[in-house]
Amino acid sequence: MSDDDYCTVSDATRSPNADGPPYAECVLCREPTEYPESYKGITLCPVCEWQEAQRTACSG
> Residue 25 forms beta bridges with which residues?
32
Q: What DSSP character marks residue 57?
A: S
List pLDDT tens digits, range 10-41. 444 555 677 778 889 999 999 999 999 998 88
Q: What is the pLDDT of residue 11?
A: 42
Q: Is 43 exposed, middle or buried (0-12, 13-18, 19+ CB in 10 A)?
A: buried
- How far apart, in whole angstroms, are the C-alpha atoms of residue 40 and residue 53? 20
**The pLDDT of residue 22:** 87
Q: Full-prediction pTM beyond 0.85?
A: no
pLDDT of residue 12: 47
Residues 6+ apart with CB under 8 A from 3: none
The string of pLDDT tens digits covering residues 44-53 is 999 999 999 9
| pLDDT at position 8 over 70 | no
